[in-house]
Amino acid sequence: MSGLHPKLIVVPVDFSEMAFDALDQAVQIAGDEGDVRVIHVLATLPTMEPGNLYGTVTDETRMESVQKSLSDRFAKKKYDRVKSSVSIGDPGREIVAFADNESADLIVIPSHGYGFFRHMLLGSVAERVVRLATCPVLVLRSAPVDGDSKPSAK
């Protein structure tokens, strides 16, 4: 990363508005010189999941479906320098592995800020990424409820 202008930024997306707001901020940070890589991580389907059990849903079909949704979403000119990828597994670990494989200079990730008790039960993808990442991580939190839904950097 040269100064404050990262050459490659990774943005995990979960199809929430916060994730796409984070992507827009990453595109802005990247400017005309940087590239952005988006990753969406699918959960592993349980063996007894009906689609898995009867062979009607495969990892490949799930990944293709998500990849098409991402490609459709990024058809706008402002996303010319954005490429997307889909993987399956533990989101925190997959995001960090993807960033490492891409030699990312920065990860931009939203934090949904679900609160202490929900965090204790579910954990936090953003927290895991911060702990495991080998590059800087910019965590964007949602703004206080005052009508502004854009994330704010913390």
**pLDDT tens, position by position, 102-132:** 999 999 999 876 666 555 544 589 999 999 9
Question: Cα–Cα distance between 89 and 114 in angstroms, integer?
Answer: 22
Which of 134, 74, 69 lies closest to 107 in space, CA to CA? 134
pLDDT of residue 141: 82
Domain spans of the chain?
Answer: 8-153
Q: Which amino acid is at 138?
A: L
Residue 147, phi-psi category: left (phi > 0), alpha (psi -120 to 50), beta (remainder): left
Question: Cα–Cα distance between 124 and 95 in angstroms, integer?
Answer: 13
Phi/psi of residue 99, nearest 5 degrees:
-60, -40
Which pTM was predicted? 0.82
Question: Cα–Cα distance between 107 and 105 in angstroms, integer?
Answer: 7
Mean pLDDT for 21-46 is: 94
Question: Cα–Cα distance between 38 and 86 in angstroms, integer?
Answer: 8
Q: Is 47 helix (H, G, I), strand (E, B) or coil?
A: coil
pLDDT of residue 121: 47
Question: Cα–Cα distance between 154 and 132 in angstroms, integer?
Answer: 19
Question: Cα–Cα distance between 35 and 19 in angstroms, integer?
Answer: 17
Res 9 pLDDT > 80:
yes
pLDDT of residue 41: 97
Res 137 pLDDT > 50:
yes
Stronger pLDDT, 154 or 67, i.e. the higher one:
67
Mean pLDDT for 76-84 is: 94
Per-residue pLDDT tens digits for 52-67: 556 677 889 999 999 9
| CATH superfamily, domain at 8-153 | HUPs (3.40.50.620)
Question: Cα–Cα distance between 103 and 133 in angstroms, integer?
Answer: 11
Res 140 pLDDT > 50:
yes
pLDDT of residue 12: 98
Mean pLDDT for 20-28 is: 96
Stronger pLDDT, 133 or 55, i.e. the higher one:
133
Res 47 pLDDT > 70:
no
